[in-house]
Structure 1
Amino acid sequence: FIVHDLYLSSETGVLFLQRPEAKKEVAFKEGYPVSVKTDLEEEFLGNFLVRKRRISIEQRNQALIKAQSEDTVLGAALIELGILTPEELQNFLKLQLREKLLEIFSWQSGQYQFVREPQIAGDIANLGMSPANLIYRGVMSRMPIEIITEQLNEWRTLFLIPTSDQMRRFQELDLTHEEAEFVRMIDGSLRLEQVVASSSLDLDHCYRLIYALVAAGLLETSDQPRAAAPLEELHTPEAQPQAEPDEAAKEEARPKDAELDNRVFEYFYKVQRANALEILGLSDNPTPDEVKQAYFKLAKEFHPDRYHDKPSVIRIKAQEIFKGIQSAYELLNTQEKIDRYLEALRTRGPEGVGLRMEEESSKEEQRKEMLKKVIEAESAIQEAEKQIVAKNWVEAAKSAKRAIVLRPDEAEYMAIFGWALYNLADLVADGRAQIPEELELAPDTDLKFVAREYINRALGTDPKLSRGYLYLGFIYKRQGLKDMAKRQFEKAVICDPSNIDAQRELNIIRLEAQAAKRKKSMKDILKDKIKDTFKKKIF
């Protein structure tokens, strides 16, 4: 269960996998798989798209020739040829990443080694699923049933216990209605063989599901029965069986990034101000069942799995919301606790009762200090963006620098600072501005070099940062390096099809190329006419 172990320990590094027929390198960042390198030709993007019947072999070959001749990536060539839209490419890159990971579950033997690395870049595509969902799909669709049966025979007389760990219980997992009903009957009182005997699922399906839930840490095995709350929270009414052809449609149905981000900001500030009842959205005198239902709903919405590929400012807020929801639930999950909390509200007042009625620990103080830095950094970067719009590069650079001091590993902050610094360089060179002391840079610093370093570091930290590629494109354009600028704008659109600035720049480049081609054609026509006239005069 290496994938789950890496997830639980939030490991960052590379998992090397090898068997006689294939080699793969799976990069993990904070416990989540972010990229896969493969030597299987069938998994290369062009071949993958042909296999999915989205493009023909002729279209693949045409795009490969264009990509090679223009020294660009295949995806950009497919977009420029009009074979794929940026949105389609982004979806297929996500599906390709999933397929490369899921294929590993079909291996019956092989060797692996995990090497920790402090910095992992990842890929420009997001996996778009939790490790639990990855395990579930891999086991259900790819893993040989012989391996599963052999393992479950060893567990046959052991009891299946739903985990009590809240992080594991609320992992994103898309079960079918039938599977969710099966899971709900597991309460720690039955042996595996008894669970299988009472299931309405066919045997292979039942075996695969149990194995997947154990591998994902949602079920545990024990030689002793142990009463445990069933995994009721796994089931969502809208969950449907997983079918690859419907993946693109499913992605469209998910909440948009902006909606999720706004919801996180809104609830984060609520958690900081509200009491336990308000955090869970409860009345002044809730029942334990109402507390449970409210907690389940919010814990699923704000589980860290949903935000792991977000910028750290969003990711950290979601983590704090999840902790706040857990704390509120712990204070209210029985009638006795509800009565005690309501009594404390009456006697101490709302200001005297927070999520923790005990004295604040040093650990809690550290957490609050960290959150304070996150909020201050966010405020500073918003000011930087405001100044960028106003083209006030001195203030933009100063504000972005403040954000980086507070949150030095945030990729977006690096990119914004780099762009402000690059534009400030022109002002300094013309004598219209000086390097502010707040930037902590020597007067003779090569600002443009430092600016590019920051943007490149941002993209090394987050290869999906569309803004970073956009800024590099602008820089190359100013330097007259049109081909290099074009490649950066293409990457920006691949990472974020809604990046209007990058789309506009690509349209300008295409129009200029078409105009140059027409101009060249007119010159050729004139030359031919002159030649014809000259020949007629001679003859």
Structure 2
Amino acid sequence: MSATLLCVQEDREIGRLYSEALEAEGYEVLCARDGRSALDILARQNPSFVLLDVYLPRQDGFEILAEMRMRPETKSLPVLLVAEGDVTDDVVRRARKLGAVGVESSPMRLDRLVANVAAHLKTEGREISIGGSIPGRGCLREVPVPELLRALHVDASTGVLLLSHGRKKKAVEFREGWPVSVKSNLVSECFGNYLIEKGRCTQLQLDESVERMRAGEGLQGEILVAMEALDEEGVIEALEDHALEKLLEIFSWRDGRFEFRPGTRIQRGSSVGVAGHPSMLIVEGVRRHASLKLIDRYFAAHLDAFLVPCADQQERLSDVGLSASESSWLRGLDGSVTLGALLEEPEEIRRLVFGLISIEVLGIEASPGDWRGTQAAARAAEGGTKAPSFDGKPDEALRSELAKLASAMEDEDPYGVLGVPSTASDDEIREAYARLAKQAHPDRFHGASSSVRELASRVFDRVSRAHAAIATAEGRKTWAAERSRGRRAAAIEDEGRRALQAETEFQRGEKLVAQRDYEGALLCFGRAMEHFPSEGEYRSHYGWCLYLCHPDNEVMLGEALEHCREGLKLAKDREKPYLLLGRLYKAMGRVGAAKKMFSRAVEIRPQCVEAMRELRIMSMRRDKNKGVLKRIFRR
């Protein structure tokens, strides 16, 4: 299923309705209000479908479509035309001549719009599958929620999982198998109702925040902070808890439908944040919401089967986190427990066992298994919810740790990257790889900022490529032959090397900014840009640092603004470019533009305390100014 659509609609309200309907189906929607903007978007992006208004200002839809057909990259792009009022024969004829897939009267019924788009984007001759064993769409009775989420994690799937249960509909976005965002159509699950239910704010405070939000004063969380109903940390905690509850509620669905759309994203969803490893979320969902009748029915269907540990279960068990009673029960297992005997255990234990079976820590066999490894793992996993895998370190410490690794790998061959001699055996190479992979695996940094996760991915990719090259005797022989003949992929190695050099320079620049050595930092950020010009965050930091070096120079301010804007274009999915551009706008006195940037940074990463603090300061100043004006007018 294609990920991105372009909606070109002059009427803002109709365009909004179309976009929301398509986003609810899991598509990413780009919007334009005139033909020129549409063509600019098509020059930068590659949408898989275009919804094009016929009656646009300046250039109508037919002119835009004709220009699209002249471009090689959009020559065969499916385009559905929409025309206000009745669709005449002349409109249909012209549409066919230009290769449109159809013409519809506008405003179009939303269900018809969704069906039209789905029909034209349907994957031809191939059904999407998850992990090779689960279909991309189906029934939750046949594929229960725990099994579905486990398959998405094992397959490291990226995309949106659409779920429906009666009138309930939810969408969960996954990135590399981790749930990162959730969206629901239930009014009862809105953020305000959650705050009231948990006693985190009063109804009066909620009503005031809704009024101010409708007046355009910002996001609800920002407004509650400005009202001092919650502090920044309280809002972040509430947002993450709310998203987690919204996600885990799907474990109570015993039937319904699901569909996975790879490559798509959710717009304006609730960020799940650092709730834990996907395995922990599955077990927690079973603990809180799974049907106990369904669990007992499963045990009753395998009365005489023995509960046994699965292979590699020690690592997976460490991802879960166990209460003292759960750990104690697991440590007491001796291999003689059958599923029939579990029916006599407390509800807490039955739910735990079913959750561990769901994530393949435990299995069932006709004969007993060896529990010694599981007993040790249970002891290590005790302590309730597992802390984030990066041990709560701040981003600066994580960056520094990864930068040291990256620096040590610069200009090294595969043996140097893994830190082994050229005479190393298969076992020595495997041990070195396991040590470095554990240190730099992206899963360890899941809850860190996007820039830290990207740096971890680069380091891990370098380690993985080095291991793949020399893991076996045959591989080492091939690598040596290629090296002697000069056939190695020099370009790829050079790109990786430049990326790591750029990150090292960026690290130095950040440290110099903290020391207020802006001139030195500017040189570092400049070198980072030279090494890796496509990294938007480097360009944004360069622009902000350029302003710090020359705060009173209008020419430099203009150049700084261009760098920050360009950095944002290159890294639209990161919070830092929005934060830095917001600060630059704030320094220029453009308060409205600054607020939009800070708000967007918070939308991308609710844990961005710097942006939340900027918004709070702006709100406090606005409230203070309102008070001054009231006193003036009273006089």
TM-score normalised to structure 2 length: 0.58
Aligned residue number for residue 16 of structure 2? none
Classify 1:2/1:468 alpha carbon distance in 2 versus 1 (closer, same or farther; 3 Å).
Answer: same
Alpha-carbon offset, residue 86 of structure 1: 0.3
Q: Quick check: 1:172–1:300 contact (8 Å CA) kept in 2?
A: no
More helix by share: 1
Matches within 5 A, 1:221-232: 221-223=364-366, 227=370, 230-232=373-375
Return the letter of the residue paired with 1:511. Answer: R
Deviation string for 1:477-501 (max 9, x for gaps)?
A: 3564313423433565785778558
- Identify which of 356, 372, 375 aligns with 2:500: 375
Unaligned stretches of 5+ residues in structure 2 = 1-146, 410-415, 422-430, 481-487
- Identify which of 115, 127, 134 aligns with 2:281: 134
Classify 1:476/1:263 alpha carbon distance in 2 versus 1 (closer, same or farther; 3 Å).
Answer: closer
Aligned residue number for residue 83 of structure 2? none
Aligned residue number for residue 486 of structure 1? 595
Q: Which moved more, 1:490-499 or 1:61-70?
A: 490-499
Aligned residue number for residue 336 of structure 1? none
Alpha-carbon offset, residue 176 of structure 1: 1.4
Partners in 2 of 1:15 and 1:4 — Cα distance?
A: 13
Partners in 1 of 2:525 and 2:182 — Cα distance?
A: 36
Q: Quick check: 2:277–2:320 contact (8 Å CA) kept in 1?
A: yes
Aligned residue number for residue 452 of structure 1? 565
Alpha-carbon offset, residue 46 of structure 1: 0.8
- Identify which of 518, 522, 528 aligns with 1:390: 518
1:309 aligns with 2:309: no
Alpha-carbon offset, residue 382 of structure 1: 2.2
Matches within 5 A, 1:116-195: 116-117=262-263, 126-165=273-312, 169=316, 171-184=318-331, 190=336, 192-193=338-339
Alpha-carbon offset, residue 117 of structure 1: 0.6
Secondary structure of the 2:571 match is helix
Q: Quick check: 1:43–1:100 contact (8 Å CA) kept in 2?
A: yes
Aligned residue number for residue 531 of structure 1? none
Q: CA RMSD in A?
A: 4.8
Q: Quick check: 2:403–2:503 contact (8 Å CA) kept in 1?
A: no
Higher relative contact order (CA 8 A, sep 6+): 1
Alpha-carbon offset, residue 76 of structure 1: 0.5
Classify 1:174/1:386 alpha carbon distance in 2 versus 1 (closer, same or farther; 3 Å).
Answer: closer
Partners in 2 of 1:48 and 1:363 — Cα distance?
A: 58
Aligned residue number for residue 23 of structure 1? 169
Aligned residue number for residue 331 of structure 1? none
Matches within 5 A, 1:337-376: 360=476, 372=497, 375-376=500-501
Partners in 1 of 2:523 and 2:402 — Cα distance?
A: 28
Partners in 1 of 2:352 and 2:204 — Cα distance?
A: 41
- % identical equivalent positions: 23
Alpha-carbon offset, residue 50 of structure 1: 0.5
1:521 aligns with 2:631: yes
Return the letter of the residue paired with 2:506. Answer: I
Matches within 5 A, 1:5-44: 5-44=151-190
Q: Quick check: 1:140–1:212 contact (8 Å CA) kept in 2?
A: yes
Classify 1:455/1:234 alpha carbon distance in 2 versus 1 (closer, same or farther; 3 Å).
Answer: farther
Alpha-carbon offset, residue 304 of structure 1: 5.2
Q: Which moved more, 1:163-172 or 1:35-44?
A: 163-172
Q: Quick check: 2:506–2:538 contact (8 Å CA) kept in 1?
A: yes
Deviation string for 1:208-239 (max 9, x for gaps)?
A: 22210121121234456665763245435684
More strand by share: 2
Alpha-carbon offset, residue 193 of structure 1: 2.6
Alpha-carbon offset, residue 17 of structure 1: 0.3
1:219 aligns with 2:396: no
Alpha-carbon offset, residue 43 of structure 1: 1.5
Partners in 1 of 2:547 and 2:264 — Cα distance?
A: 28
Q: Quick check: 2:222–2:615 contact (8 Å CA) kept in 1?
A: no
Secondary structure of the 1:23 match is strand
Alpha-carbon offset, residue 56 of structure 1: 1.1
- Identify which of 168, 192, 211 aligns with 1:46: 192
Partners in 2 of 1:412 and 1:513 — Cα distance?
A: 33
Partners in 2 of 1:306 and 1:321 — Cα distance?
A: 16
Aligned residue number for residue 209 of structure 1? 352
Secondary structure of the 1:164 match is coil
TM-score normalised to structure 1 length: 0.67
Return the letter of the residue paired with 1:477. Answer: K
Return the letter of the residue paired with 1:458. Answer: A
1:69 aligns with 2:215: yes
Alpha-carbon offset, residue 180 of structure 1: 2.1
